Structure 1
């Protein structure tokens, strides 16, 4: 994460969503050129900021930022697996895609890069938020149009450390997913299909460090995967309500999902261990703020509370740690 301060690597600062994209010169992807689309945004665009929230750890098998300045995503689209490469191109962006889902990915490239977002609707009310926004004019909220690919890793992140959740995601996708179509085959993977998730043996969840509660929640979700994916066509609040019908999915998980699937600017995360204290400290000097205090402080940003919280996270303005880190428990070794 870029910024004046050096934030500690908590899950919330990671959710600030700044993936480091090298400032290289994009080069051809190699043999087997994919389908191509170019698009010119109507304002500044920072690929690392826009697509960063989709990365689940530095070794995420579905996401890669390469030295030539490209960002790669391996996705399971409604039309099948696909790989998307995005890079700066002249005054715009170049998207190249492979696989059965290539057409779907290119059709939605502008929304993925924030075309449906309206940064100008945001009016900073605090000096820190205004400064964070000024330093990052290329911040837009991504809209993937895919629910399960954000829901499942969000479930894995429930009440565990970031490292544990990222490890589980990495192991399960590499073991049960399929190689990404195109030139990144063998280096990137597409996440498993819903039926494949449903067939993962209990001992493999355990080996990946996923407890029965989180595994059961994922299994319940993939059984109604089609109904959950339909939520993409709903307003974010209605989509959250549909997700929360599934036992084990609460406001924290549903907000984390629609922030990515819908590009929801007001879907502020509640129930988080760190976020209320970070927002409270940044806006009022209150490191002990709870959800109620956080929501009160974000009230001036109604309609844009997620964007405000994200700018606060990107500012790096976090209270000094006074308690031990959350303990890691590898149930796969118990």
Structure 2
């Protein structure tokens, strides 16, 4: 996403392509995009780079959120899903998408209808597997009863524990991969955490309460404590954060985003740098749902999110 959308200034097409090629050369085999990202530009970027090596990767994209006449539109109607898929196939330069996610639940459309459309795309040979994003365990079960769900992509990290309220267990029970997005806490859990006052005007973190003046200093202090713990363990803060996510279950995957080839290799090195269980446990005690400051989204965005929430749980 951050190559085309959401995080302020985007890199040049040349730099974005260089990063994706470096990921391919490093053995990365899962690439995750969406119709929303750059309002189609990200799918075009991914298609250009992955085209010659399409058979080497698992290609995932998303529907249900898209740019329409310059506006972000949530639309889970079956006819829209089919139309979005056809456009995505053209932009990606492929005849099949390996995993196609419903990006958000459209509360005006029963999830059974949206998933029914995705199932139809599987039957038509345009999609290999169905996924969901930002939904609860209850919605996952309803969808899974219509058509097998291969993957659920929800935010999961040391500071976003919502899956522990239901979807972590539900995915394990149903044999669904839990794909953790923003596993590095939107840049907080890295060697160069963001400075909210310096974020570009269109950066999505400007609207997130955890980055506002009342909450961010406390969250940054927790990140500093985690950084000290990581150094003691001989890993970087990002590697500690990724190792924690990957420790949550055999079915849990992480999709960290980056614009830096250096950070790409740092992230991948997590797999070769085992972190002791005691360190992972200590990290979980430092940053968790009880210690983080602020909800993960503002009130307007929370209205369209179906996942379980600690804000609702109290």
TM-score, with length taken from structure 1:
0.28
Higher helix content, 1 or 2: 2
Higher relative contact order (CA 8 A, sep 6+): 1
- Relative to the length of structure 2, the TM-score reads 0.29
